[in-house]
Every structure is written in structure tokens, then in C-alpha cells.
Structure 1
């Protein structure tokens, strides 16, 4: 497990801004609110990040379940939009039920769902190596790929494409081997989960975007990665299409990370709400906003 500070997290995101949509901030400074209940009635759809908004790791965040009940009681549509690549909508309900949330599969959209759409179009996977545990919900779509977790991170010679799917089971030694075996080579890069870090318990731990960025920085990769999660537009566009939204300003993206939830939401024309209970817990949030140059429409302590 690699633990990141909020500063190191933001610094790595900032070094790779060319991977992400252009920064588009609201004109007024962010408005402080008590929570989602203050503004939920203004929107036709609420998009909710998972880690750092609903839970930290597998532990639910206080007040999150009550906020979901308020959305249901007020008949306000919502969708959990997560860069989780260990869960797709077919297994999401069961996973969230164990955390105290009564979601259906139709109320969750993950970057794994978007990645699976890409994987289903592949005709030849023998040149692809994937970072994912040997037991994974998408195993039927990963058939024929080199499983880097099974070869201690070393990239075989025939591989020309790297898929960063999930960091579960990925070790520091595997990452070292990945970098060493990638030196002097160029790859097509694909990220199912672009997150560089996510809150887990009291820490922020490295996720696939970190392993991707670390490889790029140590091996001088030239290709711009293909991203299937926030802040890329593909997952947001799928959410808007699912709920038949015509006016993006009537959508609220609620998240805890400026470079994914807020940057991506602003770029789509959504309103954005930054929560302080996730990766920036105990941070001076206005200082973080000033340092990153990314600003939400609203700030709240938690959902």
C-alpha cells in the first residue's frame, strides 16, 4: 500500500493536466452550504462520487445514508458515479448494501462499466497487459491478456498496450518491476480508473492513476492515456444519457477531489459541490482550491 499526502496527490495530478479536460471554473467564489439538502431541489439529477463522499474504504461516512433518504423522499433522481473498477452495476447493489446503502444496480455507474464497453470491442487482446487481480468481475473480457499481477509486474516483450484497471493486490515491488521492464519502450496506455489516490480509512492510498503516472514519469511515455473514468467526459455522458438530461446546468456533481469530480463536472457544464470529508479532510480547503486553480460552485463539510 502506498500512502499519499493531499499535497503529493494534487502535485501528481497537476503534472499531467494535459490528460484531463481544460479547467473551467464558475465565475463567483464557492458558496459554503451545510449539506446537500440546502440545494438539492435546484437539480434534475444529482451525481455522487463514492469514496470520500459516501464511504472511506468500506466504512460509510456519517450522514451519507440520511442524505440518500432525503433524495428519495423528495423524488430527486441520483446516480452514484464512481471510478471503482472492482465493481460494475451488476454487482453494485450487493456491495453497497453491506455499507448501509439501498442502491439498485441502475443507481450506480462505474468506470468499470465504461471500460467493459471498450473491452467488448477488442478483437485481439494478446498484446495487452492488465493490472488487475487474477479474480476480477471482468475476467470474461480479460481473457487472453497478460495478467501483470501474476508475473510480478514484469512486462513481456510482446506487449504494446497497458491497461491500468485496479490496484487491488498491486505491490511496490510489482510497480518497480513494471517501470524497469518498461524502460526504453513505448506503450498505448489505457486507464480504467484514472484516480491517483482515494480515501481509505484515515489515509489516502494510491490507485491506478498513480501507477500509470509513475510509469509515465520514469519511462518517458509519449502517448496520452485513454481514460474511462472521471474527469473524462465518457462516464458523465453515459450518466446524462441514462437520465435523458437536456440542460447540464440542472445536474449537480458531488465529489471530494478537485482534479476528478470537480474538474470533470465543471467541464461538462454541471454545478459542482466539493465535500471536505474525503481526500482533503483536515485541509485548508480554500488554500487547496487556490493552489490547484480548480474551484467548485459549492463547498460543504459532508453530504
Structure 2
């Protein structure tokens, strides 16, 4: 689903603000040069869409910046809300578009979701995901991919929203109807409302999860930015203990990357040229959101 403009997406983020965490501090929104900013930090965490890539296309210069950070002795990692595809498929894509990340440097909300599920009783889960993504790397989970059969929605014990490719209004109606009739757990592996693609902003699982919260009065459990579990995974993955004040979170979205980084106690950089805020008045967006990054740059 493509075609949501940045202002509409931002307005929805503003409307669902009370469902998101509160930052423990605010930044100063200073403008600066990215490579100068990173000098004071040991670990640099990057969002992917809108910072490193747009859809399947690398943003010019992003791979060179990663190489420059490595040469400076900085640790780097990706912290992504991309939950639809297994890690190996993501690694293949990064390699194809010119990045040299290794698996331990890529932390996803899919991993945060799977970790959360280890603490829950076994269930048969209905899965929001494009059928082409399959259910690889979901371990021993008992899942059925949701499509257009209402009986499948009624037969499962809970729902996992991980990828919105192929999702339709009809399927959303089926999901809302079954939850109104029989409330069950809903876990969201990708809290993003939208993601930057080559042809525009795509609707992501968070968009549909908040529609559920509005219409079916069910508050889903979100695993991914801006919520803390995925950041905890990123810090745990680092071989040396890094204080939050020495971590820099770089992202294009105020309500996920920047809010999540501030909530974790990290320094934050908002990237504006290619992401979900592209074309908006950035100082105005920051003021309306009440989420203030430490730094603002056009690109990395």
C-alpha cells in the first residue's frame, strides 16, 4: 500500500502519541555535520529505511559513511523495525546494495518479538505477513498466514502483525470483526506507521495496529522502536558494555527512532532528506511532536 503523504502520516503519529513511551529527556535540535557529531560516541545505531536506504535502493554516500565510522574505530549497528523477513534475507539485501554489516550488527523488531514470545504460553497465531515472506525463522511457532478466509481469523488464539505487504481493507475488516467478537492477544512486530519506498511511503503494521486500537478497543503489544526491548537487544549484542550516554541513535522518524533513542537515554540524530519527514517543515514538526532530537542533519 503506497500513497500516504508525509503530512498525513505525521498527523497520525501525533494522534496516537499517548500510546507511545515518554522520553526521559529532550535534546536541543542542533544542526551539524554528521561525521563531527559522532566523535563523542562509541556505538552508533542506525535506522535503515530513510537513513541507509529507501526501499531496495541505498541512499548515496551511506555505505561510505559506515566505512568511515569503522575507520574511526566506532562500533555500528542497524536497529530496524523491519520484521517481515528473516535475518538472512535482510543480510543479503544489505550486501546487494553495498553495505558490509554482519548479522550481529543487525538487530530487528522481529527478534524482539520472538524473544517476547518465548515468555508466553504456546498459541496458534494468525500472521499478518506477505505470503511471499513465508514463516521461515519463526522457530516452532504454530502460525497460519491470514488472507481472505474469515474462518482462519476465528480459529487462532492470537495475532502477530509483522508485515503489511498484501494486506487489504477487507483483511483489516476481518481482523477487527473477529477481535470485536472474541478479544485475543495482538503482538506487533513492526510499530512503524509508514516506511520510505522508491514510490512513496508504504503503510506498515503499526498503521493497522493503531486502527485496531481505535475501532476494536484492543491495545496491541508493540515490539520495536520506540519501545525498549529492541534497544535492549542492541546493547546486549555489543561485546563491550556501553553507557547509554555514549550511544548515538540515528533515524528519520521522530516518533520511533528519536523518541525511542531519547527514552533509552541515547543521544539522537534526526535525518531529514529521504525519510518519513521529507518535505515537511522540520522545526515545525519537532515543535508539534514535542520530541526534540539532539542533532538534525539532512543525511549521513
**What residue in structure 2 maps to residue 285 of structure 1?**
282
Aligned to 1:231: 226
* 1:216 correspondence with 2:221: no
Counterpart residue number, 2:15: 15
CA deviation string 1:227-282 (max 9, x = no partner): 21100101111111222334211100000000000001001110000000211112
Shift of 1:75: 1.5
Q: Write the distance in 1 (CA, Å) between the matches of 2:288 and 2:151.
A: 37
Corresponding residue for residue 3 of structure 1: 3
The 5 A counterparts of 1:1-303 are: 1-26=1-26, 29-34=28-33, 36-126=34-124, 128-134=125-131, 135-136=133-134, 138=136, 140-141=138-139, 143-149=141-147, 151-152=148-149, 156-221=153-218, 224-243=219-238, 244-276=240-272, 277-303=274-300
For structure 1, list consecutive stretches of 5 or more residues without a partner in the other structure.
Answer: none
Could you tell me whether the CA contact under 8 Å between 1:129 and 1:148 is conserved in 2? yes
Query: Aligned to 1:8, what secondary structure does the other structure show?
Result: helix
* Cα distance in structure 2, aligned partners of 1:24 and 1:291: 18
- State the distance in 1 between where 2:2 and 2:277 align: 17
The Cα shift of 1:123 comes to 4.6
C-alpha contact (below 8 Å) 1:154/1:178 kept by paired residues = no
Alpha-carbon deviations, 1:121-171, whole Å to 9, x = none? 555222x3221233435365364323213x457663343422111112222
8 Å CA contact retained: 2:104, 2:237: no
Hey, what's the Cα distance between the residues in 2 that align with 1:238 and 1:252?
Answer: 15
Call closer, same or farther: CA 1:153–1:195 in 2, change over 3 Å. Answer: farther
Please say if residues 88 and 109 of structure 1, whose CA atoms lie closer than 8 Å, have aligned partners that are also in contact: no
Residue 18 of structure 1: how far off its partner (Å): 3.5
TM-score (norm: length of structure 1): 0.90
Q: How does the TM-score come out when normalised to structure 2?
A: 0.91
* Alignment gaps of 5+ in structure 2: none
Partner of 1:145, secondary structure, is strand
Q: 1:190-228, CA deviations, whole angstroms, 9 ceiling, x for partnerless residues?
A: 11111111111141111000111112212222xx32221
> Secondary structure of the residue that 2:269 maps to in structure 1?
strand
Q: CA RMSD in A?
A: 2.1
**d(CA) in 1 for partners of 2:111 and 2:299?**
27
Three-state SS of the structure 1 residue aligned to 2:44 is strand
Task: Report the number of matched residues.
Answer: 297
